[in-house]
Chain A
Amino acid sequence: MAEPILSRNFGKKDSHTLQVYVEGGGYEAMKKALKEMKPEQIIQEVDKSGLKGRGGAGFPVGKKWSFIPKESPKPKYLVINADEGEPGTFKDRQIMEQDPHAVVEGAIITCFAVGIHWAGIYVRGEYVKSIERLEGAIEEAYAKGYLGKNILETGFDLDIVVHRGAGAYICGEETALLESFEGKKGQPRKKPPFPAIVGLFQGPTVINNIESTASIPHIIKNGGEWWNNLGAPGIGGGVRLFSVSGHVKKPGVYELPMGIPLREIIYTHAGGIRGDKKLKAVIPGGSSAPVLKPEEIDVPMEFVSLAKIGSMAGSGAVIVMDEDTNLVQVLRVLLNFYAHESCGKCTPCREGTGWMAKIIERIEKGEGQSEDLDTIVSIANGIRTRTLCPLGDAAIGPAISFVTKFRQEFEDYIKRH
């Protein structure tokens, strides 16, 4: 197996400290970027790397940076999205807890490349340890002169703050996150204008995921092409962290090339199904990604291939379900989650998620009828593409895919109960 990159410090003693980070070659990329490279060169390298946003939407990171206007009357901001809330996802937490300096270094390089002097990390409220570790790393970086005024005597200034969220899933949506960051109720904004033009406090804003940010130092140190080649042949895009959970023998965070077949993740890396049972279903990219059947798991785990078969790569969270799993229960848990987390701003999501949740609850209680399944699909179609933000489409991913792909199981459940 190849040398770990993003997870190279995971498991080391005191991996969160500056000393251990620097011993592993940390902050060299920052020095290279600030002293030897021009901002445009950095953006070019990131472009070449094929790095796509690791939060879920998979937008090319270099492209995102290039949308920021060079000259802006308002300050420009970097906001790092650490509101890791997608069910099944727990990889950003590992980075923040075990390798917080990677985030700080990535942030410094990003800000230097885009011309930003203030960065904020919005961390999910429940991630108390992540917040402590990030704050510790930032403190060390200030003490070392890597943050603050005139970093490495290059004349570049940067401040980073950590902002603790209050635990709302919707605040992972970038514009809701900005609202929340500004102290308002976390609800998405209308787009356009996009955050790259009007973002935090009305200034142009780059919003990057923790893992994306932590990938930057490696790209700068070794070159964009090197990173791109780490991905599966013909796919590229580097490595990413997969959060594997559910009925596998070895759940956990795995650093693997983009485009690795799902089957390999489950059976080679995660050790196969617990108790050597049969696979029934797998969610490939966080709970919002439509579920896959066992015959679909040869798909390469990257954005385009998964979209082709009607699912998505999302946040790289693989949730595995064995043959004993009650999918009615699973769908009830998922739909309740979305009904609970819908922000309530736009009509289809506010009302539709709650309605679907109530129907599946009724079915689970044994009071369902076959046509209730059609109603769920029809409600989901009423939400599809008509909501203000992606939460609506996220909620219908599981709804439609579970009910249509496993219709027979749902019908049987309704008949039996």
Chain B
Amino acid sequence: MPTVTIDERQVTVDPGTSILEAAKKLGIFIPHYCYHPRLTIVDACRMCLVEVKGAPKLVTSCSNAVADNMVVFTDTPKVEEARQSVLEFLLINHPLDCPICDKSGECLLQNYYFCHSRKPSRFKENKVKKHKVVDLGPKIVLDSERCIVCTRCVRFCKEVAGEEILGIFNRADHSEIGVFPGKKLENNYQGNLADVCPVGALTARDFRFKCRSWFLCQIDTICPGCSNGCNAVVHFTLRNFNGLKGQRVFRLTPRENNDVNKVWLCDVGRWGYAFVDSIDRLTMPAMRKGEDFVKTDWNTALKETANRLKTLVERYGANAIGVIPSPHLTNEDLYALKCLFGCLLKIANIDFKVPGFDKGEDDKILLKADRHPNTKGAELLGLSGTGLSVEAMMDKVKAGEIKALYLAGSDPVKYMGEKAEEALSRAELVIFQGTNFNASCKLAHIVLPGATFVEKEGTFTNYQGRVQKVNKALEPLGEAMADWEIFTRLGQMLGVFPSYRSAEEVFMDIAREVAPFAGITYKKIGSQGIKLTLPEGPVLSEAKE
């Protein structure tokens, strides 16, 4: 293994490691544009030039591998002069429109200019005019004048999204990125183009002109879009001047996890966050009065719920209640639900497998057919197969044997259509606990507003059995409450129930009670998650790698 000296510090790396990556190991950052650790190397931007002892000229650190006893300098006057020169070149034809550019604040032209140059421009000529506001599709907008032709986007489409769609048109300083004639940018990974673009050339339509990047806070999360559990960062603002109607979450960006999503995020997941601040969010508990819902407070709503459930169990037995949780809920939510309905109320009819819930389209890259982040968790917590299936529950409601349905985040009407609609209309009691109004909620008698994945702490177990953590970025909208908290409060009204004060406390119980989770703590899960040792045999019917 070669040992290399970089800026008078030594590091030993695998053969073939580039100078740039070796320097990274020492914590030395070499500025670069075209290089991206997940894409092929093109050696084009010339920003990563460094001095190698004995070499007649500066060498590109992205494409040159270290050799044993190599001596590298990354911050000599010669290197700094080269960086300034490259920056000057990149900026001569750039429109310098930072005040209206969405990339501003997180742009590598800005960052490197302020780190390495800060020189006034000597350019007195007319800038090259190029195409602006080019629709590359419904999701991505191109501004060619801001483009530095690093070709990260071209390579991303070809190498990651699997489509040769983008190319460079024209030559010299008229070079522009574009879509090949007769082709369309249609893949499910376009959001990554805005991420890999180091400058403001490619911007996501979803984010354009919505918020300056420096107003955004970031917190680690897990994309709730499917069972893959891609690691992500949620960007949100605490400066919401518009009450309940304002946008608080502005985007999801990928976070590196080599075992799950590398550094990518699909568009379905990335832009699935809109429900968090959408107009149909449930913000207050409510109860049906005739055709209408009437807002109420938590105490009233929970008391009503507890009393009616209690009465039904006393009158018809526990089998007269069916519970349909959603695999959108966290392990903590689901465990509290299980404690409440399974252990305390002895209800056997709990099933999260609403027919068709896992029948989306698998894109063979990241997006899984099952569009729920915690199916494996629900499975491991035993929320299916203890009693009737969802389908059988609906039949029993029609037959009058099941009197009440508790929908915890689930929307059977969406998947089962008329059959569920009919059952829900006939049931004596339908309780809907969830984040947004939907067709199933419409038929409920009591509505309990739940918190979304950015408004609560908890864990999801992805399709591989990897437990990963979501974090609370924002307070629940209005009076919404984390689902585990709702179950805890209901539980305490109905009998002896643990007084959970945080999701972590719930998780500690999971780790104690549910075998595959044994010994796991939030600390151990960390930012990259922990893969469970799963019991033998098919845990999940649709399990696929």
A: which residues have CB within 8 A of B?
Answer: 168, 170, 185, 187, 190, 339-348, 350-355, 358-359, 362, 375, 382, 385-388
Contacts and interface: CB of A to CB of B under 8 A. Distances in A.
Nearest to A349: B172
B125 A362 contact: yes
Nearest to A186: B171
Contacts of B43: 190, 346, 388
Contacts of A358: 125-126
Given A358-B126, A359-B125, A346 B44 contact: yes
Given A185-B167, A340-B172, A385-B58, A346 B45 contact: yes
B46 A344 contact: no
Contacts of B311: none
B93 interface: yes
Interface string B122-156: 11111010000000000000000000110000000
A185 B166 CA distance: 12
Contacts of B86: 347-348, 382, 386
Contact of B172 (A348, A350, A375, A387): A350
B534 interface: no
Nearest to B89: A351
B457 interface: no
B175 interface: yes
Interface string B158-172: 000000000110111
Interface residues of B, number: 37
B285 to A, nearest CB: 60
B58 A354 contact: no
B125 to A, nearest CB: 4
Given A347-B44, A355-B125, A339 B82 contact: no
B88 interface: yes
B90 A347 contact: yes
Nearest to B85: A382
27 contacts: A168-B171, A190-B43, A190-B60, A340-B171, A340-B172, A342-B171, A342-B173, A344-B168, A345-B44, A345-B149, A346-B46, A348-B85, A350-B172, A350-B173, A350-B175, A351-B173, A352-B89, A355-B92, A355-B123, A359-B124, A359-B125, A382-B82, A385-B56, A386-B46, A386-B57, A386-B58, A388-B44
B435 to A, nearest CB: 48
Contacts of B126: 358
A345 B45 CA distance: 8
What DSSP secondary structure best describes chain B's contact surface? loop
A352 B93 CA distance: 11
A339 B168 contact: no
Nearest to B91: A351
A344 B63 CA distance: 19
Interface string B296-337: 000000000000000000000000000000000000000000
Contacts of A339: 172-173
Contacts of B148: 347
Contacts of B171: 168, 170, 340-344
Interface in B173-216: 173-175
B47 interface: yes
Contacts of A187: 168
Nearest to A359: B125
A342 B170 CA distance: 10
B128 A354 contact: yes
B279 interface: no
B226 interface: no
B94 to A, nearest CB: 10
B131 to A, nearest CB: 15
Given A345-B44, A355-B92, A355-B125, 18 more contacts: A168-B171, A185-B168, A190-B42, A190-B63, A339-B173, A340-B171, A341-B171, A341-B172, A343-B172, A344-B170, A346-B43, A347-B46, A353-B172, A354-B93, A359-B124, A382-B85, A385-B56, A387-B46
Please indicate which of the listed interface residues A168, A341, A343, A348 has the most CB atoms of chain B within 10 Å of its own CB: A348
A85 B371 CA distance: 57
B399 interface: no
Contacts of B47: 347
Contacts of B46: 346-348, 386-388
Contacts of B168: 185, 187, 344
Contacts of A341: 171-172
Nearest to A170: B171
Given A345-B42, A386-B58, A354 B122 contact: no
A362 B82 CA distance: 26
A358 B172 CA distance: 13
A375 B63 CA distance: 30
A107 B173 CA distance: 38
A261 to B, nearest CB: 30
B42 A386 contact: no
B173 A354 contact: yes
A358 B82 CA distance: 22
Contact of B174 (A168, A344, A346, A382): A344
A382 B89 contact: yes
Contact of B82 (A352, A355, A386): A386
Contacts of B167: 185
B497 to A, nearest CB: 65
Contacts of B41: 190
Nearest to B175: A344
Contacts of A352: 89
Contacts of B88: 382
B430 interface: no
Contacts of A359: 124-125
Nearest to B150: A347
A283 to B, nearest CB: 22
- Top 7 closest pairs, chain A to chain B, by CB: A344-B175, A382-B85, A351-B89, A190-B43, A358-B125, A354-B173, A385-B57
A358 B174 CA distance: 14
Contacts of A388: 43-44, 46
A351 B57 contact: no
Contacts of B174: 344
B93 to A, nearest CB: 7
Looking at B41, B88, B167, B171, which has the most chain A CB atoms within 10 Å of its CB? B171
A347 B92 CA distance: 11
A312 B171 CA distance: 27
B49 interface: yes
Nearest to B41: A190
B93 A375 contact: no
- A339, A345, A387 pick with most chain B CB within 10 angstroms: A345
B83 to A, nearest CB: 10
A229 B172 CA distance: 44
| B41, B42, B89, B170: residue with the most chain A Cβ atoms closer than 10 Å | B89
A344 B89 contact: no
A344 B34 CA distance: 13
B85 A375 contact: no
Interface in B88-124: 88-90, 92-93, 122-124
A353, A375, A382: which has the most chain B beta carbons within 10 Å?
A382
B127 to A, nearest CB: 10
B224 to A, nearest CB: 40
Among A170, A341, A352, A355, the most chain B Cβ lie within 10 Å of the Cβ of A355
Contacts of B45: 346-347
A385 B173 CA distance: 19
Contacts of B175: 344, 350
Nearest to B167: A185
A339 to B, nearest CB: 6
A340 B125 CA distance: 17
A14 to B, nearest CB: 40
Interface string B4-45: 000000000000000000000000000000000000011111
A165 B245 CA distance: 60
B292 to A, nearest CB: 64
A342 B168 CA distance: 13
A334 B56 CA distance: 28
A389 B135 CA distance: 33
B122 A375 contact: yes
